[in-house]
Amino acid sequence: MSSINNRRPAASGKSFNGLIAATGIVLGLPLVLAGNWIAYSTLVIDHQVPLPPAIEAERNSLAGTTTGRLSFYADRTAGGRPLLLIHSVNAAASAYEMRPIFEHYRGQRPVYALDLPGYGFSERSDQARSPEAYAQALLDLVTPIGEPVDAIALSLGCEFAARAALQQPDRFHSLTLISPSGFNASGTGRATQQAVEQDRTDSVYRALAAPLWGRALFDLIATRRSIEFFLKQSFVGPVPQSLVDYAYATAHQPGAHYTPLRFVSGRLFTRDVRPVIYERLTLPVLVVYDRDAFCRFDALPELATAHPNWQTARIEPTLGLPQFEAMPQLAETLDGFWRGL
């Protein structure tokens, strides 16, 4: 009996020690995987992928007031009112998102397409940029153009364009917002927008952008598979391979992670953008929308009803990028809007 009793503590202690070891392995595994990915991101992933022009057109640059060098594409072969194109903000954004509109209108009127700060060929330094800085970048471009522009913006770019038009309305003739952010009902937006509503953007950004893992985290978001996954949510049909290729290339440039991490944290959204910006606009505004995986339009009908300078046009079926899947319908809508002015 005594020998049996003496064995039990030994067996129990061995099991307990094994449990501790197993628990340590389980808890340590994520740290090992994270460490391996950080090393892979630093040593293996190419962050200087060759980047061709987003648009086959003259590419220019100018010194931004607060954002460093700004790159933009221009076709001035035709006369008429200038058209300014403003892309969205995401992990792999660039003027390529507005390429179908540029190609359609070039030769009919002067067309300009900007690479927003932190994207494309514009400066990608680690600056604490804000919505105000992005609006100023637009004003830096439209001011030397010399006459009011018709501006077309996409997604979060709509908030920047609206802010710029509110600040200097004499620089803008009209504003078209394609799948604009800022029209979701309170508490229904994506995590980035809710971080703005809950005033958590600084803490979220600090967690995401720590020097040790910030770029590695972005590299997870910017894999080819991840880019394809997110783009598929914006297309009814197949995603153009050229768009995937360019998105991957522009997301693998020195400093490509700085602005997207600020975007993901919510820092680039304007809190209460509807009353603060949208509802104060007095110029003609057209909203083009349908369904969108990243933006909701719950508050759009009420705003459009209350403000006669606002019009809406639904192009179906699209999922946020009608310029790629419904350019003829989009052009017809735009032309009708401008003729009505």
**Interval 143-153: pLDDT, tens:** 999 999 999 99
The SS3 of residue 95 is helix
Task: Compute the average pLDDT of residues 94-111.
Answer: 98
**Displacement of CA 206 from its chain's centroid (Å):** 19
Which stretches within the chain are classed as H helix?
2-43, 99-105, 131-145, 157-167, 191-197, 201-208, 214-221, 224-232, 241-250, 258-265, 273-276, 300-306, 322-325, 327-339
Phi, psi of 194 (to 5 degrees): -70, -30
- Band (30; pLDDT cuts 50, 70, 90): low
Say which CATH class 58-339 falls into. Answer: alpha beta
Please report which confidence band the pLDDT of residue 305 belongs to, taking 50, 70 and 90 as the band edges: very high
What is the overall mean pLDDT for the chain? Answer: 89
Torsion angles phi and psi, residue 328, rounded to 5? -60, -45
- What does the block give as tokens for 204? 């979220």
Burial class (CB in 10 A: 0-12, 13-18, 19+), 57: buried
Q: What is the model's pLDDT at position 34?
A: 73
Quote the pLDDT of residue 3.
42
**Nearest one of 18, 298, 285, 302 to 181, comparing CA atoms:** 298
**In the structure encoding, which two tokens stand for residue 95, read together?**
């003027």
Confidence at residue 28, expressed as pLDDT on a 0 to 100 scale: 53
Q: In this predicted structure, what is the pLDDT of residue 137?
A: 97
Average pLDDT rounded to a whole number, residues 181-188: 81
Q: How many whole angstroms separate alpha carbon 65 and alpha carbon 28?
A: 47
Residue 32 has pLDDT above 80, yes or no: no
**Sorting pLDDT into bands at 50, 70 and 90, what band is 35?**
confident
Query: Predicted confidence band at 192 (pLDDT cuts at 50, 70, 90)?
Result: low
Higher-confidence residue: 180 or 41?
180
**DSSP assignment of 115-174, as one string?**
E-TTSTTS--------HHHHHHHHHHHHHHH-S-EEEEEETTHHHHHHHHHHH-GGGEEE
pLDDT for 142 beyond 60 = yes
Crossing angle of helices 201-208 and 258-265, rounded to 10°: 140
Instruction: Say how far residue 307 (Cα) sits from the centre of its chain.
Output: 27
For residue 285, the cross-strand partners are 175, 310
Contacts of 285 (CB under 8 A, 6+ apart): 162, 174, 175, 176, 177, 307, 309, 310, 311
Residue 187 — very low, low, confident or very high, per pLDDT cuts 50/70/90? low
Q: In 3D, which of 214, 213, 312, 287 has the Cα closest to residue 256? A: 214
Q: At residue 197, does pLDDT exceed 70?
A: no
Angle at 331 between CA 330 and CA 332, to 5 degrees: 90
pLDDT, residue 41, reads 83
**238-282 pLDDT, tens per residue?**
999 999 999 999 999 999 999 999 998 889 999 999 999 999 999
Instruction: Specify the amino acid at residue 303.
Output: L
Q: Above 50 in pLDDT, residue 205?
A: yes
pLDDT score recorded for residue 194:
53
- Is the pLDDT at 123 greater than 90? The verdict is yes
State residue 207's pLDDT score.
78
Which residue would you say has higher pLDDT here, 66 or 212? Answer: 66
